[in-house]
Amino acid sequence: MNRQFGLLLASTALAVSLGALAPAVYAQSITVAIGSEPSTLDPQLRDDGGERQVNDNIYETLMARTPDAQLVPGLAASEPVQIDETTWEFKLREDVSFHNGEPFNADSVVASLERVIDPENNSEQMAYFGTIAGAEKIDDYTVHILTNGPDPILPSRMYWMKMIPPVYAQEGDLASAPVGTGPYEFVSWSRGDTITLQANEDYWDGAPEIDEVTYRFVGEPGTRLSGLMAGEFDIITNLLPEFTSTVPKFAAVEGLETSVFVVGADNELTSDPLVREALNLAIDRQAMVDSLFSGYATVAQGHHVNPRAFGFNDSLESYPYDPERARELIEEAGANGQTLQVIGESGRWLKDREQIEAVAGYWAETGLSVDVQIQEFSQYLDSLMGDGPRPDTIFIANSNELLDADREASFIYHMDGAAASNSDEEMAAMIDEARITTDEGERQALYDEIFQHAHDLHYTVPLFNLQDIYGMSERMEWQPRTDAKLLIKEMSVAE
């Protein structure tokens, strides 16, 4: 037994022994431990999973998904209708208000769209909204969404864009005190500790069963586990696979996240395609699946597009493990002894730190000097999507709630993407073309070409398709969703 594992078991045993001392919990109040504190509660500007885990309960979108990912109307009263190549018409529900009393109507939709796409706001979410040119109010409950070209997946984009109250967005503080239309209202945020929400008794679809939810920010998986075992938490995210048989309850679902390193193709060291190829060949991915994930992950197939997303290139094969060839490539590139920067975080995704450190170990065996930097999450987001220099390599577990390859292509592969690290104009032009191509066969062929091109140039180091694993207290009743949303209105607790 290694020392780290032994310490984790010891801390868990201590927590269990103290369980009787845990404070009583009200049947209709739950505590959820998440891996990172939100960098903001503004729902439109950052691409931050911690923010979404909270705000998915406060805000709503025009389109929604069922737990098994079927697209259905949300704040829209019905399915949208395409008026012409660049215009989609949405009819809106007429019985909805924001938590502050502002009505939800066409003005809200226009303000929400215009705010996200405003270049002055520099939203990190633009990979989801790249075709949107604006919106027009037709009447109080009818709006036209305009695109800058044909967009076959516009309804899916409206599953992502949260609707905000126009007046409060101008006069209030969305970053610290969010106001939405959803089943839960914001109560308080104790920085570094908790966020508390309460049920919206006037929710248009009926008040939820659970009255109050408190989010705790716990980056260390062992601490989340200990808290669950002690009765302190009702749900924990990213339950370690090896403890699924230990917790009171657990649930797992095939997720939408694929872990990957984005490589700085314009950086001095990693501009050499020989180095980028070596980074891919150096990793024994199957050994990592076996040792880290206990079957709750699979090796990514040559790129980081989710296999269920339209545009997935099924002809690509996973990179083989060839450490000897990796060392030869580093030697051939004259890169022996050069320093490779590796940026990551800890606690946001399943076994994120372990993946980062294991991969860094493989890379060190190629002859590179590896500098691993584990950053606080807000700093990490700036490294991933900020305006500063691109890292040599940066880890992310990339998700695809659009279930369309435009998400990955626009976010990481396109030279103007928020997390992109290349200046490949040819590939960017192909991505732009695929985004507005309406013929499915032609569009799939474009994505096949795009991802083959990216694979041949080794722009990323794809790792694993991950499952989402949750630990739960005995009283929780909940089936996790394919899209990883923690929707409290879908949960219940035993009396």
CATH number at residue 418: 3.10.105.10
Stretch 427-448: mean pLDDT: 97
* 175 within some domain: no
| Joined tokens for residue 2 | 């290694």
One domain, residues 259 and 280: yes
| CB contact set of 190 (below 8 Å; sequence gap of 6+) | none
More confident residue, 135 or 482: 135
Q: What global pTM score does this model have?
A: 0.85
Could you tell me which residue, 96 or 388, shows the higher pLDDT? 96
> Are 291 and 429 contained in the same domain?
yes
Mean pLDDT of 268-287: 98
- Check whether residue 424 and residue 318 sit in a common domain: yes
Who has greater pLDDT, 348 or 146? 146
Q: 325 and 296, same structural domain?
A: yes
* Residue 492, strand partner residues: 477
Q: Which of 299, 485, 306, 317 is nearest to 406 (CA)?
A: 306
Say if residue 438 is in the same domain as residue 306. Answer: yes
**The two three-digit tokens of residue 32, written as one number:** 């959820």
Same domain, 366 and 311: yes
What's the whole-number mean pLDDT along residues 360-365?
Answer: 98
296 and 412 inside one domain: yes
Range of the domain at 221: 3-43+48-55+182-248+473-493
Q: DSSP labels for 280-345?
A: HHT--HHHHIIIIITTSEEE--SSSS-TTSBT--TT--PPP--HHHHHHHHHHTT-TTPEEEEEE-
The C-alpha atoms of residue 462 and residue 299 are separated, in whole angstroms, by 8
- We report the CATH number of the domain holding residue 225 as 3.40.190.10
pLDDT, mean of residues 187-208: 97
pLDDT tier, 387 (very low <50, low <70, confident <90, very high otherwise): confident
Q: Is the pLDDT of residue 215 over 80?
A: yes
In a domain, 456, yes or no: yes
326 assigned to some structural domain: yes
Q: Retrieve residue 295's tokens.
A: 């079957």
User: Which is higher by pLDDT, 279 or 17?
Assistant: 279
Q: Is residue 368 situated within a structural domain?
A: yes
What mean pLDDT comes out for the span 15-32? 55
On whether both 461 and 375 belong to a single domain, the answer is yes
Which of 147, 170, 193 delimits the end of a domain? 170
307 & 293 share domain: yes
- The mean pLDDT value for 427-449 works out to 97
Residues 290 and 189 in one domain: no
Query: Distance from first CA to last CA of the chain, Å, rounded?
Result: 40
Q: Are residues 231 and 151 in the same domain?
A: no
User: Is residue 433 included in any domain, yes or no?
Assistant: yes
- Could you give the residue ranges of the DSSP H alpha helices within 320-436? 323-332, 352-364, 377-385, 406-408, 425-435
Alpha helices in 176-289 (DSSP H): 221-229, 273-281, 285-288
Q: What is the rounded average pLDDT of the residues 174-203?
A: 98
For residues 236 and 258, state if they share a domain. Answer: no
What is the mean predicted confidence (pLDDT) over 349-359? 96
The domain boundary, picked from 113, 143, 170, lies at 170
Token reading at 195:
């966020």
343 found inside a domain: yes
Domain contains 176? no
What mean pLDDT, rounded, does the chain reach?
Answer: 93
Predicted pLDDT at 3: 37
- Cα pseudo-dihedral 127, 175, 262, 265, rounded to 10: 80
Give the pLDDT confidence score for residue 401 in this predicted structure: 87
What local confidence, expressed as pLDDT, does residue 4 receive?
38
Residue 110 maps to which CATH number?
A: 3.90.76.10
Domains: count for the chain = 3
**Structural domain contains residue 199:** yes
pLDDT band at 83 (very low <50, low <70, confident <90, very high): very high
Structure tokens, 456: 């041949």
Determine the average pLDDT of the residues in 478-487.
94
Q: Name the band, by pLDDT with cuts 50, 70 and 90, for residue 177.
A: very high
Task: Identify the bridge partners of residue 373 per DSSP, sorted by sequence position.
Answer: 343
Q: Looking at the predicted structure, is the pLDDT value of residue 87 above 50?
A: yes
Q: Is the dihedral of CA 160, 169, 418, 299 positive or negative?
A: negative
